[in-house]
Amino acid sequence: MKLPILLLLSATLATPLAVLAAAPHDHDNATPQKIELNAGKKWATDAPLRQAMAAIRSSTNQLLPAAHAGKATSADYDAFGKEVTTQVAYIVENCKLDPKADAQLHIVIGDIMSGVEAAQGKPNDMKRASGVVKIAQAVNTYGKHFDHAGWQAINLPH
């Protein structure tokens, strides 16, 4: 079931949210609307998820100061969006989580991809910097809800 998601992701890089809307899920339960812990504990992760999320965190942490200062260029935002989308594709292709953890991860990935769209200037009424902030918030949500040893939250601008 992951292959159709990956094919959709690669075919629709220009419209990342279309991937999540059209992607079939590996589980029977509907994706919850609000992320929650696993009976008070963080959800288990696997190596591919940790690797990709660390890369997304790093890319976000690098661009955030320039985005916040209004100094990031269109090329910076485009490259950032492409890198994050590549990492999400890696998660979709390689991450193998329990169905309940996967459902929770879908919420985080949805927020990340929404941030990618904003960072890439879609829709046009959003500031691109707000997309970077949205991804940073999603990355921090991941860290609060998923067991990732050594995880550090991104400091968000005030």
For residue 149, pLDDT beyond 90: yes
Please list, residue by residue across 48-67, b when 16 or more beta carbons sit within 10 angstroms of its beta carbon and e when fewer do: bbbbbbbebbebbeebbebb
Q: In this structure, how many other beta carbons lie within 10 angstroms of the beta carbon of residue 4?
A: 12
In this model, does residue 13 exceed pLDDT 80? no
What's the per-residue H, E or C state across 135-146? HHHHHHHHHHHE
Q: Categorize the per-residue pLDDT at 145 as very low, low, confident or very high, splitting at 50, 70 and 90.
A: very high
Find residue 1's DSSP bridge partners: none
**Four-way CATH pick for 2-12+43-145: 1.10.357, 1.20.120, 3.30.310, 1.25.10:** 1.20.120
Q: Where are the domains of the chain?
A: 2-12+43-145
Mean pLDDT (the chain) is 83
Q: Confidence class of residue 4 from pLDDT cuts 50, 70 and 90?
A: very low
Out of 96-110, 112-126, 137-151, least confident range: 112-126
- Between 126 and 24, the higher pLDDT residue: 126
Report how far Cα 67 is from the mean position of its chain's Cα atoms: 18
d(CA 55, CA 84): 8
Mean pLDDT of 105-113: 96
Residues 134 and 157 sit within 8 Å (Cβ to Cβ): no
Q: Which residue has the tokens 């050594």?
A: 150
pLDDT at 31 over 90: no
